[in-house]
Amino acid sequence: MAALTKNDIKITRTESSKISSIDFNNLAFGQVFSDHMLICDYKNGKWHTPEIVPYSPITLDPSAKIFHYGQSIFEGMKAYKDDKEDVFMFRPMDNVRRLNVSAKRLSIPELPEAYFMEGLKALLEVEKDWIPTAEGSSLYIRPFIFASGKGFHASPADEYKFIICAAPSGAYFSGKVNVLIEETYSRSANGGVGFAKAGGNYAGQFYPTQLAKAKGYQQVIWTDDTTHEFIEEAGAMNVFIRINDTLLTSPVSDRILDGITRKSILQLAEAEGLKTDVRKVKVSELVEASRNGSLKEMFGAGTAAVISPISGFGFRGEDFIIPEQDASFASKLKNRIVAIQTNKVEDPFGWRVKL
């Protein structure tokens, strides 16, 4: 059904909404879920028509291949309301395209773009009242696909589920974070799946991050897998470094996610007249910049936090403090992106999509 529209999607509404019990002014990130979800099955060699059903647990056979071989991918995105109650998404086509890049790498059948976009629009229309309007909040949206087909044979599954769930959420991080540059463990490797939003990428990060937290840090800065000389990502986010008045970030590769917020920051910085440089950055360059005072800022960038400032980093037993900036690039860029997302300013880039 290549010409799928919202009208083709069956909607079964919940008999009892829980929205009245939610404190929308005091939301944690990703802990409260809306009343409905979209679900779509891949069976007999094709994706079937999506439908919207009440949010509920799903039942899987113990031999479902997701449990054994990890075929699981996801996206993260947000919906916003402006002061007129209009609903907006931010660069949603980038999400569906990246989902299919991930699907191809993990031998998951690619999802027709209309199933994603029309399904998402239909779900947001049903869940419109769940979009919070408090400063810094949004409706976080999690589309994901996993292998539901059965069997212990080490091969791609023959059945999959595509689901979209939504969670009204407050800020992902509050304040700045202190990070540890990792030299033992690697997030990903050449020829691997680091560029894909595969669930296993994140599972593999948890243990090194726990070790860093035990040392008093909140997150890890990942370095390349072979030499650990080059900075790659910050936790689950892309990383930016400002040396003097130049904003640096690593080029995307097999190992580094092509972040939508990352792309937005680069495009916006150029439009704002800020100098950018996409190139490899050595850990030694970062350390030297900190020592000589040319390191002005460092921050992570991703959908959940938008921009998360870094207050300092640890490296080989030494801590380096990043000084506060009166007019930081991080705050300027974050404020500009959020203003575009929430329809407070014009969007010259065509990023904002109205429901």
Q: Is the pLDDT score of 175 beyond 90?
A: no
Higher pLDDT, 4 or 148: 148
Mean pLDDT of 48-70: 98
Residue 90: which pLDDT band, with cuts at 50, 70 and 90? Answer: very high
Buried-state track 83-117, b at ≥16 Cβ within 10 A, e below 16:
eeeebbbbbbebbbbbbbebbebbebbebbbbbbb
Query: Contact at 8 Å (CB) between 280 and 250?
Result: yes
- What are 253-285's pLDDT values in tens digits? 999 999 999 999 999 999 999 999 999 999 999
Structural domains for the chain: 6-169 (3.30.470.10), 177-341 (3.20.10.10)
Mean pLDDT of 240-247: 97
Looking at this protein, which amino acid is placed at residue 98? R
Question: Please, what is the average pLDDT of the chain?
Answer: 95
- What are 187-196's pLDDT values in tens digits? 999 999 999 9
Q: Is the pLDDT score of 1 beyond 50?
A: no
Q: Which of 9-18, 153-162, 166-175, 222-231 has the lowest mean pLDDT?
A: 166-175
Phi, psi of 305 (to 5 degrees): -95, -15
pTM equals: 0.95
Tell me what percent of the residues of the chain surpass a pLDDT of 90. 94
Task: Determine the pLDDT at residue 2.
Answer: 52
Mean pLDDT of 144-152: 98
Mean pLDDT of 234-254: 96
- What are 75-87's pLDDT values in tens digits? 999 999 999 999 9
Strands (E), 244-305: 246-249, 275-278, 281-282, 295-302
Residue 172: which pLDDT band, with cuts at 50, 70 and 90? Answer: confident
Q: In Å, how far from its chain's centre is CA 103? A: 16
Q: Is the dihedral of CA 128, 175, 28, 209 positive or negative?
A: positive
Strands (E), the chain: 10-11, 36-43, 46-47, 51-54, 72-74, 77-81, 87-90, 138-147, 160-169, 177-181, 219-223, 230-234, 237-243, 246-249, 275-278, 281-282, 295-302, 306-315, 318-321, 352-354
Task: Determine the pLDDT at residue 136.
Answer: 87
Mean pLDDT of 81-103: 97
